[in-house]
Chain A
């Protein structure tokens, strides 16, 4: 089991390194000059050069890469070119907001996924199952900014139940979290429903049905446990998707966070900030997947942490 853990963690580190390196290379060879963008007097080549020197931007690219990599390992992503603020400080300020948003959104998504997923399999009436099964594909195809504006329109501008901007209260996180959760929850519902159908049609379900088990008992007592696994395995990818979604959601709902920092950093050519955010996103993705790996055997005892399915 220890070997398995180490291998998974090692693999995770590899993913973070790859994401960091790919982002670094792309950003490095992209045109644009943050030093010039930061308002340093460009008519004075000496001043520009001095600023580049101070930031270490005149060293060969591989030296800069290795320095950046070792810095990142220590959690040091350097300082911004514009204000000289440490990048880690920007991350420390915006990461909690984004994690809070994505965390609440994940809870909402799980609830939506469970309720809709089960509801689209549970009813005996075929027309009702068909109707409920049609909901997730519709939700998935909605652009998230549009969904966000619709939610704002209905529940904030219209009914006035929730504030439209970040007032620091829990109420102000509900709508942005929902706008992230609806699409994500719909994915979960789809996967859960199709796994449930497979489980319900399987031999063991036939057997418990033959023994006289009620429909609720078959669904909640037996099928759901087996059907939950494929959905759980998706959580890593879905969280990564929600992190990406914050770029739009945080703007529409006026929340400060990684997504909005990313837009600002791209606009002002703050490469180090972009790099840090990409790396953090990869880190979150890896950690979630590791957690999923560890939780899986708790749900399905047939899976042991050896990487193989036990006999």
Chain B
């Protein structure tokens, strides 16, 4: 989640109140809202693009929204079912060990420079992703252990991994493994960031000014949409623009005054105003690991299982959820409810202050004079660093922890500062989440090779997470996911709190902007009333 710059939150409300009278004249719906119309321009507002539009290099939500329409991937993940369906590849085979993936490419797909999507170009993409290494943050993660890429014939690609990769089929649907032309893979990383590449997606890049604007043109020859997508032909839009607008009150004002037609970065507070004015609000929880606390087992607070369980039961998730948008839902598992293979296990960590207090009493943590529990000279007091725009929720949880005698101090930092302290053992809890439409989202945060080091005393959770990554068979995978989630909650390794969600706010004359399975914005079926 990108950080937002909000210079004057209070003033924003005033600006909104004033804007109302002016904006109401510009947003009256005139045409038919059900039959898509072809043509026109849609301007989409984003707070930041981090200066790069190469889908294989970007990793922030906003940069992904902007670069994703430029590429098609080997497969498509159905947002309703979570199933993997054909896209550039019409079919595929996976060996029993989940180490060998063979993709058969569909005929007729092409890059925007006119060259066909063939096996050689797909191989060139994987070669270049491997070569980029950590620069392709997501791609590098998805291709870990990729040993060879073979092309048995012009339209067949065979990938072989050193160890089982049960999660790779889902990864093949991601924009980070979206295909660009062979020629494009040879360009420098900087040139590709600046937009010097030809993609395989429904839109082609016309102009890109970093941190300012990107102009994409709909490809009239695009005819290889995934079968389950509504628009089977070329994009309805002539032009799709992304305007980078960092200040949130400016973003709100531009959308209200119809200078832009949609954005997924309107604050919860402002969303109500849009809803009242007839704008469409489309909300979807991000799949992956929910927002929650990751516990450092080496810290005073984290080393006692009783304390971890007490924290788990001390959070009133419904109260926290009431601070979010009306469409948000509290966490009911370590995974969010839009993640494939998710199951509701909310009973395991139900809100129960009495139980939490009882657990702490039994473990010998006694209330001190200042209301903070202590035992053998150690106090249940710690500082939580966070950079995400979730301050309100954390303050409420701070109060709820206080009710059981745990003192959580909050300190807002930057991503840079926080990353700088990972691994030094100085923090008791981390505030984290991870978006990916696959249960393996958990391993990237808490798995054996994850960035965070939680000092868990045994490897049971690591092993359970590894199993998820090794199995392709859905039924066996479901068992592995359930087992890993159960272990994580039982040991209190993660304290789930709330689901991150994305809300697209679009003007009354804009339609068809949808979510893909990863809750990224999809424009292939978007259109505007002329």
A interface, CB within 8 angstroms of B: 32-34, 36-39, 41-43, 85, 93, 145-146, 149, 152-153, 156-160, 163-168, 248, 251-256, 260, 263, 267-269
Contacts and interface: CB of A to CB of B under 8 A. Distances in A.
A216 B451 CA distance: 74
A37 B256 contact: no
A152 B18 CA distance: 11
Nearest to A268: B416
Contact of B7 (A38, A164, A251, A255): A251
Nearest to A145: B7
Contacts of A42: 419-420, 422-424
B15 A153 contact: yes
Given A254-B246, A255-B212, A157 B253 contact: yes
B211 A267 contact: no
A156 B259 contact: yes
A147 B130 CA distance: 50
Given A159-B22, A256-B211, A149 B8 contact: yes
Contact of B210 (A39, A254, A256): A256
B246 A33 contact: no
B250 A36 contact: no
Nearest to B11: A149
Given A157-B256, A165-B254, A269-B416, A251 B247 contact: yes
A37 B7 contact: no
A165 B419 contact: no
B190 A85 contact: yes
A164 B253 contact: yes
B254 A252 contact: no
Contacts of B7: 145, 248, 251-252
B420 A251 contact: no
B5 interface: yes
B91 to A, nearest CB: 37
Contact of A256 (B190, B209, B247): B209
Contacts of B416: 32, 34, 37-38, 267-269
Interface string B182-198: 00000000100000000
Contacts of B422: 42-43
A156 B414 contact: no
B213 interface: yes
Contact of A165 (B15, B26, B250, B420): B250
A153 B18 contact: yes
B19 interface: yes
Interface string B240-284: 000111110110011011011000000000000000000000000
B229 interface: no
A163 B259 contact: yes
A203 B259 CA distance: 58
A198 to B, nearest CB: 40
Residue among B8, B137, B453 with most chain A CB within 10 A: B8
Contacts of A32: 416-417, 420
8 contacts: A32-B420, A149-B15, A156-B253, A156-B254, A251-B7, A254-B212, A256-B210, A268-B416
Nearest to A81: B416
B487 interface: no
A260 B244 CA distance: 12
B212 A158 contact: no
Task: Tell me the interface secondary structure of chain A in the complex.
Answer: loop
Contacts of B410: none
Given A43-B453, A158-B22, A152 B212 contact: no
Interface of B: 3, 5, 7-8, 11, 15, 18-19, 21-23, 26, 45, 134, 137, 190, 209-213, 243-247, 249-250, 253-254, 256-257, 259-260, 414-417, 419-420, 422-424, 451, 453
Residue among B15, B190, B212 with most chain A CB within 10 A: B212
A153 B19 contact: yes
Nearest to A166: B212
B176 to A, nearest CB: 16
Contacts of A263: 5
A33 B421 CA distance: 10
B419 A36 contact: yes
Contacts of A256: 209-212, 244
B351 to A, nearest CB: 35
Given A33-B420, A42-B424, A263-B5, A254 B244 contact: yes
Given A42-B419, A164-B259, A252-B7, A158 B250 contact: no
Sort A-B residue pairs by CB-CB distance and give the 8 closest, nearest first: A37-B416, A36-B420, A43-B423, A256-B211, A158-B22, A157-B257, A157-B253, A42-B423
A253 B419 contact: no
A172 to B, nearest CB: 10
Contacts of A34: 416
Contact of A39 (B18, B256, B419, B453): B419
A163 B210 CA distance: 19
A168 B22 contact: no
B244 to A, nearest CB: 6
Contacts of B15: 149, 152-153, 157
A211 to B, nearest CB: 55
Nearest to A158: B22
B133 to A, nearest CB: 12
B294 to A, nearest CB: 15
B210 A164 contact: no
A144 to B, nearest CB: 11
A146 B250 contact: no
B26 to A, nearest CB: 8
B254 A145 contact: no
A157 B252 CA distance: 10
Contacts of B250: 149, 152, 164-165, 252-254
B257 A251 contact: no
Contacts of B249: 149
Contact of A164 (B5, B11, B26, B257): B257
B257 A160 contact: yes
Contacts of B18: 153, 157-158
A167 B26 CA distance: 20
Contacts of B419: 36-39, 42
B423 A157 contact: no
B136 to A, nearest CB: 13
Contacts of A160: 22, 26, 257
A269 B421 CA distance: 14
Contacts of B260: 165
A269 B8 CA distance: 24
A104 to B, nearest CB: 17
B446 to A, nearest CB: 14
